[in-house]
Chain A
Amino acid sequence: MAKQRVKFTFAQELIKEAVIWRLGRDFNLVTNIRRADVTEDRGWVVLELEGEMEEIERGVQWVVEQGVRVDPVAGDIVEG
């Protein structure tokens, strides 16, 4: 089993979507939320995903396709 720590940032129109629940159900991932902040116009969630590596990658790709921004928990890594 693999683990990946990620940050999801949701735009306002996606806040009501059950993205994390579907990620767990459809890709058989354990989702473990560690920190979050949701306001009326946007929200972010820092969480750990646990499951088969291939499923994590497929799941993250699906989340990106839903319009959610997915980042490493440490922010951008590519520096100038």
Chain B
Amino acid sequence: MSFAKNLRCRECGRVYPLDPIHVCEFCFGPLEVFYDYEALRRTLTRERIERGPLSMWRYADLLPVTAEAAVDIGTGYTPLIRASRLGRLLGLERLYVKNDCQNPTWSFKDRVVSLAITKAREFEFDTLACASTGNLANSVAAHAASAGMDAIVFIPADLEQGKIVGSSVYGPTLVAVDGSYDEVNRLCSELSDKYPWAFVNINMRPYYSEGSKTLAYEVCEQLGWRSPDHCIVPMASGSLYTKIYKGLKELAWLGLVEWRGTRMSGAQATGCSPIVEAWERQSMDIKPQKPNTIAKSLAIGNPADGYYALKVMAQSGGQGVAVSDDEVVEGIKLLAETEGIFAETAGGVVIAGLKRLVEQGLIDPQELVVAFITGAGLKTQEAVAPRLKPALAVQPNMASFENAFSEQAGALPAARK
């Protein structure tokens, strides 16, 4: 069952029913789902969760929909890997990687979209919509197909063909908008006011964003009902980052884990780092930026939850870190070469950010650290392709192979006797 009670304005605290609305009528502040935590405390136990399905829906009691109604294409309960090799290299004794590449459309967006579409169906919308350049579009198109709903996906007209395939294969209506990034934003905002569509990250946003909490729940359960000492999370709008913290706090309030005061660090790419830039200025005032980075999945110049992310960073004792595009590529390679996980650019941002924080002494080597890897690398191959070692080209004979190998790859082992 759902224990969601109402929506509350994050700015002025006004309360609203659980309707398809996203901003406060009075101050236009963002709305957030609030739960009946007393009832949850009486009902929810570790055992009740453990009896649930091996998916994000085992935490349905903590979500604003019921599990029975879920549009579920197999999202969640992704692996939490003990990253010993990477940890040793970075100087961390207890490093874990939450590998959310293993979701149905290969990114964490499946969590938020699964929730948004479930709520959209409950509200009797027949069309799911979004504006996206990648992961979100893929997930919206896939979920809508699975639920038999129509999907409208707005994309910038200059988006590369390769990025369109991952959405168009599911059969949505793709709308290529010939305008600047800001113009696409404004158009979609106006469309969501005008037409009866469920825009996952506009009118469904209060519900949609709650899906990210399941990452925190899973990590705690996979650690044996223990919260991490330190999390490092990629930041785009800042929503994922703040919702992971909300999830950790909820589990502690409900007595399911001990409160450890988890420190929350957030990573961005220098080419689009409005949250980290404000953090470094020690200001709560986000200055919007024009994105220019290879980490396209994090390229949000005017982050909706940036202010709230800064609050979490300050409250939790975390850090904000921004890394260059070169470091992003190095981060992708480091994770792949040490742990066998090929992450997209957002994962490179996280690993490079983690490396920087350790080097600066801002993460204690003894801390239990979880790095959140939110999307798979096959989606952004162009980011790393130019930096990869070329394959050896040889003739089909032993001498050619041995020559090429010794010249380019190093000494061959002694031959078998």
Contacts and interface: CB of A to CB of B under 8 A. Distances in A.
A79 B201 contact: yes
A72 B188 CA distance: 9
Contact of B296 (A34, A39, A60, A80): A80
A62 to B, nearest CB: 14
B341 to A, nearest CB: 19
B43 interface: no
B296 A5 contact: no
Contacts of B184: 77-78
Given A77-B185, A80-B236, A80-B298, A5 B23 contact: yes
B contacts with A: majority SS: mixed
A35 B300 CA distance: 22
A26 interface: no
Interface string B13-28: 0000000001100111
Of A34, A37, A70, the most chain B CB neighbours within 10 A belong to A34
B201 A71 contact: no
A78 B296 CA distance: 11
Interface in A36-80: 37, 39, 42, 46, 48, 60, 69-80
Interface residues of A, number: 24
A contacts with B: majority SS: strand
B237 A79 contact: yes
B304 A76 contact: yes
Contacts of A42: 285, 287
A34 B26 contact: yes
Interface in B163-192: 181-182, 184-186, 188-190
Interface of A: 3-5, 9, 34-35, 37, 39, 42, 46, 48, 60, 69-80
6 contacts: A4-B190, A37-B285, A75-B303, A78-B300, A79-B237, A80-B297
Given A4-B193, A71-B185, A80-B134, 12 more contacts: A72-B188, A76-B300, A77-B131, A77-B184, A77-B188, A77-B202, A78-B131, A79-B130, A79-B136, A79-B237, A79-B300, A80-B299
